[in-house]
Amino acid sequence: MSAYKIEVENLNAWYDYKHILIDINMKIKERTVTAIMGPSGCGKTTFIRCLNRMHELVPKAKVSGKVIFNNLNIYDNNVDPTWIRRKIGMVFQKPNPFPMMSIYDNVAFGPKIHGIKKRSILDKIVKQSLEMAGLWEEVKDDLQKPASALSGGQQQRLCIARALALEPEVILMDEPTSHLDPISATKIEMLIRKLAENYTVVIVTHNMQQAARISDYVAFLYMGRLVEYGPTKEVFERPKNELTERYITGKIS
């Protein structure tokens, strides 16, 4: 079995006529944290949205190339995008729990949609997912309270629990700490490292210090192209490309 969970081959992406990603090739190792960094507008978010076929939900969006997940090209005609988005989950930049639902129902929503109705099974999924997201002890006595009652950091961990409830193999995160206070952000960073023991995590970040702290591998995108990709320590301490060095030292932003 391949050590790589996702293999990206000649990936290109467009919004209408705007070419956002240009010939991206990279292999993402299983059970690691890979950070995608680069200046605003370089294609970071588009890249991870291509990894679970969310990009195509945007009107006039197009993709070419391959994304191999478990030896399957997710863009093959016979592949169900809904299944892909279940196995490759997404956590967005701004916490987005379902505000009119309880904490419990937020986590149980996905399993219910996929046919699980038995309360005892749902209870187990909710508890396990909240535990993995580091939220169970904080909310176990308040599961019927609305998700909107939680703090921003708790809401983001709830969104992570909601993704975990669908039993993904990969978790994509689009700047998951950018709207959080430092204490909440630290909790999310610690959680990401913990999740990498069992999941493959790909995170978009503008924060180079964060990338250095939590990732095993880092990819630097610039103007839609993959400039450099490798072990985090190596890229930060001995970048091979001048553009990477200039970005890391703040000469371009």
Pick the CATH number of 29-52+80-249 from 3.40.50.300, 1.20.1090.10, 3.50.50.60, 1.10.10.10: 3.40.50.300
Q: 160-177 pLDDT, tens per residue?
A: 999 999 999 999 999 999
Q: What is the reported pLDDT for 2?
A: 67
The CA-atom distances, in angstroms, between 216 and each of 82, 106, 235 are 29, 31, 11
- What residue type is 183 in one-letter code? I
Q: Flag whether pLDDT at 13 surpasses 60.
A: yes
pLDDT in tens, 75-109: 999 999 999 999 999 999 988 999 889 999 999 99
Contact in structure between 80 and 165 (CB atoms under 8 Å): no
Length of the chain: 253
pLDDT number for residue 1: 53
pLDDT band, very low/low/confident/very high, at 122 (cuts 50, 70, 90): very high
How many CB atoms sit inside 10 A of residue 103's CB? 28
Mean of the per-residue pLDDT values of the chain: 95
In the predicted structure, residue 55 carries a pLDDT above the cut 60: yes
Percent of the chain beyond pLDDT 70? 99
Mean pLDDT (whole number) for 39-59: 95
Q: How far is it, in rounded angstroms, from Cα 196 to Cα 159?
A: 17
